[in-house]
Structure 1
Amino acid sequence: MGVKVAIGEKMLPCIAMIIIEACTIFLTIMASTAMSKLGMSSFVFVVYTNALSFILLIPYSFLLHRKDNTEEPLLTFPLLSRAFFLGLVGVTIAQNLAFAGLSYSSPIVACGAANMIPAFSFIIAIILRRIKINWKSQGSIVRVVGTLISIVGILAMTLYKGPVVKQYSPSFLHLATSPKLLVFTSTHENWVLGCFLFSSASSVLVIWNIIQAGTSKQHPHVMKITCLYTLFGTIQSALLALFMEKDLSVWRLKLDFELLAIVLTAIFGSLIRSSVQMWCTRLKGSSYILFFKPVGVPVASTCGCVLFAATFHYGSMFSACICGLGYYTTLWGQLKEDETKRDMKVNVFASDERAPLLQEQEEEEDSTV
């Protein structure tokens, strides 16, 4: 019985993260379908999903932190300014770039570009001089190799789509007399622009991660900060959408597939995904959830062969796999480098502890002489 429980504890976080990544892909397919088939504006989609996320996060964030005894003020200028920039970078810029890129390409490109984040993190850290490449360190060399693999993957995805995997969709997805529903077809496909927008969104998310890491150190109530920057991001995105969309009819919502995509994306992004990731982090550590990001590539590939009509290509699938390989290589190098740094700190600490003992032995030897 104890063995079964131990196996369950090990397998449950893994299964949960695989389901989370699969759901992310399915929601991406729903969003792309709503944009291509129903003409939904990507800018309006970002506003509505984040507005609903904010409404859901208000009670959830306070329930999550109700047992905390710290009464640190939330509405201080430093935290408000950080929340403002988190909303600007993570919501207004990154999400609008990503969903605009989705309207010009396909979900498989989203998977490939998302796997570029470790490589972009490494490049930006070098530019900001936060790290230096140590050619004698195995971890640094592996990170460089992984970054180069990721760059090759995203360039291949941008420049080469390859032949179409499947030019028809299964009959069970639609009736003979009705239009196809869950089939992604971009009416204004621009593959190069889509890849560029997705890559830009991934690089912006790296900057957002840096700001978020600094904010979480200053304020322990992570979900309250999330609620606050979601509010700022919603307001900023609304202003951007009003500027980009002159036709006010795009804001009209009906009880249709578009509303379903907005509601499910908001619930999943604000409550389910964050809760599962925090649970897995507590059980397995902060680096555990990072290993599941490339899972989206085979999920999107499987869905693409069934759902993406004549827009799914062998070249994009192969390039996404290359990006996934680069992701794992760069991540492994980063973890190897972090392990080396921890070992160095332990050795320094141990040598500092031995130093007084050595001095005492030397003094005893001097006294005997």
Structure 2
Amino acid sequence: MGGDDLIPFLVMVFVQMGFAGMNITSKLAIQTGMDPIILVAYRQLFAFLSIAPFAFWMEWKEMPKMTMSIFFQIFLCSLTGATGNQLLYFVGLKYSTPTIGCALINLLPAFTFVLAVLFRQEFVRIKTRAGQAKVIGTIVGLGGAMLLSFYHGKTITGQSFIHWNYADRLEDSSSRDDKSNFLLGPFLLFLSSFSWAVWLIIQAKVSKKFPAPYTSSAYLCLLGGIECVAIALYFNHKLSAWSLRNPMRLSVSLYSGVVCSGMAFCIMSWTVQKKGPVYVSVFSPLLLIMVAISSWALLHEKLYVGTAVGSVLIVIGLYSVLCGKSKEMKLNDINMEETDEMKENDVKNDLELQ
């Protein structure tokens, strides 16, 4: 893996680590009674406050011209990537579990690949090795994700020496008001993954026309924050619901906003610009592995044979897609070089004839 491939790979792994932490802590914040819609609203507002200074400092002088067309596309990004994706996810998480949430997030690569092919941002090229690697890798990764989530098997490890007693207290206090709905929750999480895939497709177009990831992400979070605040006020009129006196609510709002929206949107926008939307989406299965390990270490959840086998399949599928994408990009670079050489030769021939 070359330097040009290593940096996007590392930053996307970092993004998934951030999402893993948010996945567990957000569930705990919701268990304290925090409205998931208000959590998303705070997340977007804190994200905007964290990104805006960097956007001004790094891109203001050389920022591309903002047109109505570009602004409308950023608005669509806010509806799909911020408001739609996150609202559906957190509300779905309220009526479901982190495991199911992580499992259904892994529909993202399939959704993104299909949409990218439909909008001609990706080409299957099933007759080439690169195309076969992408298709097989996507199928293997999804299979591993489903196996990890829905098949346990025998226990392969004992309990962790690390434990988060605070989580136990929250689970005990919320167990009496269990409102799990294993039909509504997964359905909302399913829609969340689809909304995220739509964002990746639109963001790919925005990145080409407006190559300023900090500024576009700041606009996205600001618009998303306004949308989420309006929705939250419509459904919940109590000002007390917006209180951040609870340390868990405050820390999760700041963490999810600064790390999982502010930094993550900038990193993903930059990676989409460099590698395309499908490349970004294939990292989502790593979230399952990270949440499984974190839940085992902090919450005393057991690890099973299905977890281990599924994790191996996810890594194999991810590596296959990355290899296919890397081969495809190298072939594109070679074709572009050959095209440039042909153009130069044509110009030389025209000059010689003149």
TM over 0.5: yes
In the other structure, the counterpart of 2:20 is: 25
In the other structure, the counterpart of 1:304 is: 295
Give the length in aligned residue pairs: 346
Gaps of 5+ in 2: none
Q: 1:279 to 1:231 in 2, by over 3 A?
A: closer
Question: Is the partner of 1:180 in helix, strand or coil?
Answer: helix
In the other structure, the counterpart of 2:42 is: 48
Matched, 1:34 2:33: no
| Residue of structure 1 aligned with 2:51, choices 49, 57, 76 | 57
Work out the CA distance in 2 between the residues paired with 1:107 and 1:150. 19
Percent of aligned pairs with the same residue?
A: 23
Q: CA deviation at 1:254?
A: 1.7
Larger Rg: 1
Matched, 1:152 2:146: no
Q: 1:307 to 1:153 in 2, by over 3 A?
A: same
Work out the CA distance in 1 between the residues paired with 2:123 and 2:168. 55
> Could you tell me whether the CA contact under 8 Å between 1:30 and 1:182 is conserved in 2?
no
Cα RMSD (Å) of the superposition? Answer: 4.4
Work out the CA distance in 2 between the residues paired with 1:102 and 1:204. 16
> Could you tell me whether the CA contact under 8 Å between 1:109 and 1:157 is conserved in 2?
no
Give the 5 Å matches for 1:114-263. 114-128=105-119, 131-153=122-144, 155-156=146-147, 160-162=150-152, 173-174=164-165, 179-180=168-169, 187-190=178-181, 193-245=184-236, 249-263=240-254
Structure 1 residues 136-145 or 196-205, which shifts more? Answer: 196-205
Letter in 2 for 1:56: S
Work out the CA distance in 1 between the residues paired with 2:184 and 2:84. 16
In the other structure, the counterpart of 1:6 is: none
Q: 1:272 to 1:212 in 2, by over 3 A?
A: closer
> Could you tell me whether the CA contact under 8 Å between 2:37 and 2:87 is conserved in 1?
yes
> Could you tell me whether the CA contact under 8 Å between 2:109 and 2:282 is conserved in 1?
no
Q: CA deviation at 1:206?
A: 2.1
1:12-61 residue CA offsets vs partner (Å, 9 max, x unmatched): 9977765554343223211111113x122211110111122223333332
> Could you tell me whether the CA contact under 8 Å between 1:143 and 1:333 is conserved in 2?
yes
Gaps of 5+ in 1: 1-9, 364-369
Work out the CA distance in 2 between the residues paired with 1:57 and 1:359. 51
Q: Given the two structures, how large is their TM-score scaled by the length of structure 1?
A: 0.73
Q: CA deviation at 1:92?
A: 1.1
